[in-house]
Amino acid sequence: MSQQSFKGPLEQIDESCWRIPTSYKSGMRVEGRIFVDEHLLDQVRQDQSPEQVANVAHLPGIQMASLAMPDIHWGYGFCIGGVCATDPAEGGVISPGGVGYDINCGVRLVRSNLHLDEIKPQIPALIDALFRRIPAGVGEGGPYLFGGKELQRLLGEGCRYLQSQGLATAGDIEHTEANGCLADARPDLVSPKALERGSDQCGTLGSGNHFLEVQVVDEIFDQEAARVMGLELGQICVMIHSGSRGLGYQVCDDALRDFRKVPARYGIQLPDRQLACAPVDSPEGQAYLGAMRAAANYAWANRQLLMWQTRECFAEFFGRSWESLQMGLVYDVAHNIAKIEKHTIDGVEKTVCVHRKGATRAFPAGHPEVPQQYRQIGQPVIIPGDMGRASWVLVGQGDSMKKSFGTTCHGAGRVMSRTAAIQDAKGRRIDQELAALGVVARARSRHGLAEEQPAAYKDVSQVVDVVHRANLARKVARLRPVGVVKG
Amino acid sequence: MFEMMEHTADVGIRVRANRWEDLFVDAAKGLFAVLLAKPEEIDPVQQVDLIIPGQEDDELLLDWLRELLYIFATRRLVFCEFEVRRTTEGIAARALGEPLDQHRHQPQIEVKAITYHGLKVERTEDGWLAEVIVDI
């Protein structure tokens, strides 16, 4: 267990970035850079995640630096909060560990025209209705079943397939990262085991840190950007955090098994076998990318179906259509993914494979991949926090392109183990404590709320402060939870 | 016997056994103790036979737990008794249990995968020790 603190060098570059020099470990091809500030630095040193940043710097073809965001914490091989871009033209590799088990885990935010002051007394009943409606928890399937050909289409086309089935609108597609579909997905390379795990799980929340929250816009920091996104003070929104469910876990698991002997085959020396990788352009690399893209498409479809059920539930509860409740999708972001993107590195434009593991794309204003509606303000970035404090909406800023391959943080990051959190909650009623904070919480499992209690997480606002100061993403609005549905 | 290990984001299972085969038995019990709040409520009324190929102890353990997780995730079966036999190809095993009952077994956390991190199978002075971390 690598829970001991990091004793290696961390050199300050500026007020929001620290360096691990290449001299720290032989074999580092680039330096490590961690976006952090003095307040969070001690927490960063508490585990071996900086060591993992240094390990990732060994990967063939890595560009600029091995990066980590302020919500960095220990992960498998790669840290959570890690960003790594590799150039296939320089032997650059793709690593399943750089994406993680929950392929395209991500977050979406849905607005409404409801205001907290109008519906406050109804919140408990609304959360009960959502809790009954949204499939969540261990071993729970959902109402949407996709058979052989349907599942293949869903994996190939993502949210576009759901649009053809009347389960997504053109606006939903437009406001989803990559329009809810990565091209060149290879459903035929998704194993039968993964397909089986995915057949009844699309449109289900899962458990652990996944959630559906009813939130209120608590403070606005950028009036113009908030206006463009249709956000205003006191407004009710819904945030959904989930990923590719069992299908994605199995795709990653299959790839890690298939990759066991691949590094040796290509003469790649690694400091940790969990960094197992293959050249992007190799048959093994392309096979993983094809299956990963199919799993990513499944994840976008999953969040779309979770949102669809939420809209139906709101419509039934308030006796009005979801359109009249103006429940449009603000945006959907992926935070566990690898993508082929163009970036300018040392003045040269390159096509690179960007791994974001617990990190969110944050393209600035004017970038062609930002939807037209947001082109002037930058790509919306949704950052979930813990269920007692806050979540954030940011927009991508210019420096993200030169400092972090167009990337920012993804959340708060745990500070307390699950067993410690359960121990800490003994004799307490977390649901009542949350109620005292104005949050109605419902969870399926006995330990769900205890494990996910606010104290188990870093304060997400401190994390957001760092990326705001580093000019990777700018604060737009803070949202506060008023109701939580957990697995 | 098995015990849970502290871990920030996930859960570790540590197993000590006198016999190599019992490492696999107790690690499997540990997995269902992570998944369920009431694993002691499982009745051994249905059996599943498994063949896990492999030569390396650690990868065999990983693949064994992986297979049980896959059966749980797809067939919703939970197990409480295990028989494990070493063969020249790997292990041959029998798992006994029943379909998941949400009310009786009380599933508590979804295990995404069995990981390689800190994966360990080793001989000790008085038997065997294994450690494995599951991603949740």
* C-alpha distances out from residue A95 to A101, A273, A280, A353, Å: 12, 11, 9, 10
Which positions in chain A touch B73 (Cβ < 8 Å)? 139, 197, 246
* C-alpha distances out from residue A393 to A34, A240, A381, A464, Å: 22, 13, 6, 10
Which residues in chain B (73-92) have CB-CB distances under 8 A to chain A? 73-74, 76
Could you tell me which of A481, A276, A254, A228 has the C-alpha nearest to residue A374?
Answer: A228
- Spatial distance between the Cα atoms of A213 and A485, rounded to a whole number of angstroms: 6
Q: Which residue reads 């790649």 in tokens?
A: A268
pLDDT at position A1? 42
* In this structure, CATH architecture of domain A11-95+104-486: Alpha-Beta Complex (3.90)
- Residue A23 per-residue DSSP state: G
- Spatial distance between the Cα atoms of A220 and A381, rounded to a whole number of angstroms: 15
Contact B115 A420 (CB under 8 A): no
- Judge contact between A357 and A75, C-beta under 8 A: yes
Measured distance between the N- and C-terminal CA atoms of chain B, rounded to whole angstroms: 22
Q: Among A49, A209, A253, which would you mutate to test the B interface (most chain B Cβ atoms within 10 Å of its Cβ)?
A: A253
Which positions in chain B touch A273 (Cβ < 8 Å)? 116
Size of interface A-B (CB pairs under 8 A): 105
Q: Which residues contact A425 (CB under 8 A, 6 or more apart)?
A: A449, A450, A453
Which positions in chain A touch B37 (Cβ < 8 Å)? 445-447
pLDDT < 50 regions, chain B: none
- Residue A158 per-residue DSSP state: T
Q: How many domains does chain B have?
A: 1
Which residues in chain B (22-61) have CB-CB distances under 8 A to chain A? 35, 37, 59
Q: Which residue reads 């393209």 in tokens?
A: A363
State the pTM of this model.
0.95
ipTM for this model: 0.88
Could you tell me which of A354, A337, A271 has the C-alpha nearest to residue A51?
Answer: A271
Domain that includes residue B41, residue range: 2-135
Contact B112 A273 (CB under 8 A): no
- pLDDT tens for chain A, residues 1 to 487: 445 899 999 999 999 999 999 999 999 999 999 999 999 999 899 889 999 999 999 999 999 999 999 999 988 899 999 999 999 999 999 999 999 999 999 999 999 999 999 999 999 999 999 999 999 987 677 889 888 899 999 999 999 999 999 999 999 999 999 999 999 999 999 999 999 998 889 999 998 889 999 999 999 999 999 999 999 999 999 999 999 999 999 999 999 999 989 999 999 999 998 899 999 999 999 999 999 999 999 999 999 999 999 999 999 999 999 999 999 999 999 999 999 999 999 999 999 999 999 999 999 999 999 999 999 999 999 999 999 999 999 999 999 999 999 999 999 888 887 878 888 988 889 999 999 999 999 998 767 788 889 998 889 999 999 999 999 999 999 999 999 999 8
Give the minimum alpha-carbon distance from B117 to chain A in angstroms, rounded to a whole number: 6
Residue of A nearest to B114 (CA): A253
Contact B112 A249 (CB under 8 A): yes
Give the minimum alpha-carbon distance from A274 to chain B in angstroms, rounded to a whole number: 7
Q: What is the CATH number of the domain that holds B24?
A: 3.55.10.10
- Judge contact between A334 and A104, C-beta under 8 A: yes
* Residue extents of the structural domains in chain A: 11-95+104-486
- Spatial distance between the Cα atoms of A70 and B44, rounded to a whole number of angstroms: 48
Number of separate helices (H) and strands (E) present in chain A? 17, 19
**In the structure encoding, which two tokens stand for residue B63, read together?**
């693949």
Contact A137 B107 (CB under 8 A): yes
> Which residues make beta-bridge pairs with A236?
A216
- Judge contact between A209 and A443, C-beta under 8 A: no
Q: How far is CA A193 from the centre of its chain?
A: 24
For B11, which of A101, A253, A418 is closest by C-beta distance?
A418
Q: How far is CA A391 from the centre of its chain?
A: 13
Give the minimum alpha-carbon distance from A28 to chain B in angstroms, rounded to a whole number: 21
Looking at the annotation, which residues of A are catalytic?
410
Q: Is A121 exposed, middle or buried (0-12, 13-18, 19+ CB in 10 A)?
A: exposed
For A138, which of B7, B35, B63 is closest by C-beta distance?
B35
For B70, which of A193, A420, A451 is closest by C-beta distance?
A193
Q: Which residues contact B8 (CB under 8 A, 6 or more apart)?
A: A3, A47, A73, A74, A414, A415, A416, A417
Contact B106 A445 (CB under 8 A): yes
Give the minimum alpha-carbon distance from A24 to chain B in angstroms, rounded to a whole number: 23
Which amino acid, residue B133?
I
Residue of A nearest to B118 (CA): A1
For A101, which of B8, B100, B113 is closest by C-beta distance?
B113
Could you tell me which of A413, A417, A379, A412 has the C-alpha nearest to residue A396?
Answer: A379
- Judge contact between A477 and A220, C-beta under 8 A: yes
- Spatial distance between the Cα atoms of A334 and A303, rounded to a whole number of angstroms: 11
Q: Which residues contact A296 (CB under 8 A, 6 or more apart)?
A: A103, A104, A158, A182, A185, A244, A248, A334, A337
pLDDT at position A142? 85
For B37, which of A1, A197, A446 is closest by C-beta distance?
A446
Contact B70 A250 (CB under 8 A): yes
Give the minimum alpha-carbon distance from A208 to chain B in angstroms, rounded to a whole number: 6
pLDDT at position A3? 59
Which positions in chain B touch A414 (Cβ < 8 Å)? 8-9
